[in-house]
Structure 1
Amino acid sequence: MAGFLSTSADLGTMVTGKQLHCHSVKSGLGKWISVANGLVDLYGKCGCMSDAQRAFGEITVPDTFSWNGLISGLASNGYISSALSAFDDMKLAGVKPDPVTFLLVLSACNNGKLVDLGIEYFKSMRETYDIVPQLDHYVHLVDILGQGGRLEEVMEVIQTMPFRADALIYKTLLRACKAHRNIPLAEDMAKRGLQLNPSDPAFYILLANLYDDCGRHDLGEKTRKVMSEKRLRKSPSQSWVEIRNKVHLFVAGERSHPQINEIYKKLESLEAEFKNHRHHQGMGVGDSYYHSEKLALAFALLNTPSKTPIRIVKNSSICKDCHNFIKFVTHLIDKEIIVREGKRLHSFRKGECSCTSY
């Protein structure tokens, strides 16, 4: 049962998860703490934090996994203060944090732009809890400092940490360089990362996009040409949504779905309204083709009752254009739309998003 719940959580299949929840109650399996922890994980990953907190509250003696599930759900759904409060409650309950707990806490600090607090938590791992930070913890620290614009401190961390920097470290810092438009450091990070993983197209894509952002379109095109010559391609963006106990998978630009004509008509209608609104409101977004999350959204709008929330899971980050588009859809339609990208959830409602556009 715990395994089935974990699978439903990863897929974001809420309907199946609820059926499993009902079966666990009827069969008595819900009394097992592994099943209860699975329910906390399921509801947290599906964007239903009230249900996740209710499931957590029914656990007689929460263990480390229970607390980690609660903190993870709160942090990924944008409830940063509540996630850090849950960490304090965990300590007050006498449950010792483990390395995973600190990965979650550092992630919460990163999502909440709490740079100084994130540094304090990182230092407390060894000083207060005798937990030796691993490479994953340093990746989070690099991300926290990098997104905060403290790039010199990031380089000091990389040079002094007790591990050899891997490609993920350099990719993380490259993203920060893109956010802060630091071309020289970005070029250095891309070079180092490609030396470790020459087949990863993300380094070329991030660097090319940075050049574009800085007005160096010539360098952007040159970088994409090198990527093309090396025959490197980004993994296709995929999104899926569960409708009536069936998972529907969408790939950007595909036309194989049985309802594809209706889907495109729905998108064209929404796009027309969005462009008209953008013209009058001065919304600064670029043109975007039909990404997988847009296809999944249009399909769900065509096949769900008016008040039923829509839950979309994506295998990559949502782009700025699609993020603005989904916000606009919830401005038009009184409906909650939840998009999960990796470990972060975007809960759209009434023209706003839980991530506050970060």
Structure 2
Amino acid sequence: MNRSLSHSPIGIRGMGSYLPQDIRSNEEVARRTGVTADWIRERTGVRARHVAAPDEAASDLAASAVRAAATAAGIDAADISLLICATSTPDELGPATACRVQALLKAEHAVALDVSAACSGWLFAIKVAHDWLRADHTPRYAAVVGVEVYSKFLDPEDRATSVLFADGAAAAILGPVGPDEGFQDFDFGSDGTLADQVLIPAGGSRLPADATTLADKGHCIHMDGRSVSHFISATFPRLVHESLARNRLSVSDIDCLVAHQPNPVLLHRLGRQLGIDIPTLVIVGDEVGNIGAASAPYALTAAAGRHALRPKDRVLITVFGAGMTWGSALLTWSGAPAVRIAPTRSNLPERERPRYDHLTQRP
């Protein structure tokens, strides 16, 4: 191992996100699920969901997000030595969607692989990339992208899932950063006994596609909403408390808390219980819904893009998702820029359009 690089902190050099152009409003979702738009807003806080076009796959969204992150970092695709895609809605069961992304980017020098840990996947992939770069012999860059196209796996009449899940992608470029910057602490866990709480049951080797699985909507997301809510309510606070304890910090030492975005109303409530105010706790699920593995990096991109992060800010990242899986990371921000690719057209009524007042602009 190269001694100088082995001691170089690894952090984020650039962030990027991409949202599909079409938007599905609460009114549209309500018409199919038997609830009202007001019910959706009050119970979930979600105001909009971006929806991939029929010809857009996960790799298309992911490639756009990586391009944006690379632009922010000031590098070319040829500079990427490792490309990891975190998704639970891949282009195909095989090959890895990361290989599709590599081809779209023409990132010919990149090793490409997928990480599958549902909504926790991006942070799991960050850990892989972090350790890969620390062990490499020359300073290189890794691209880590979270992406989901949940709209293609939803039963539009299922209230538990259709009101929450949506499409999007967000990516980070990792590389060497300055002293006292970058990632300092990781922690992860899984409990496979809870795997049935949220899943796409058919299409794999246990229930291959056939007429029965199609008729039973086995290729759609199935979720026990009550059990998942209980899991999040227990896991999110525990992740925060354990990370703070490991690093001998208090809540007041955290400048920015980035979490997976399962339900903005639930996240608001848990943040209040933890004593974390909204400028510190980044909430973007109202804008985009639950975009799975893209949720945490999208929130981090939003915070960086809206200047809510300053160099040397201490960022706590927490994720939790199907599997069940969870993880946390402590990051000292390097001042990395962000590029957000936003849709150019919206069919969302004015009163439904996302509000952006939950992040405080800081000089």
Q: TM-score, normalised by structure 1?
A: 0.27
Quick check: which one's helix share is greater? Answer: 1
Structure whose residues are more often strand by fraction = 2
Larger radius of gyration: 1
Higher RCO, Cα 8 Å, sep 6+: 2
Question: Taking structure 2 as the reference length, what is the TM-score of the superposition?
Answer: 0.27
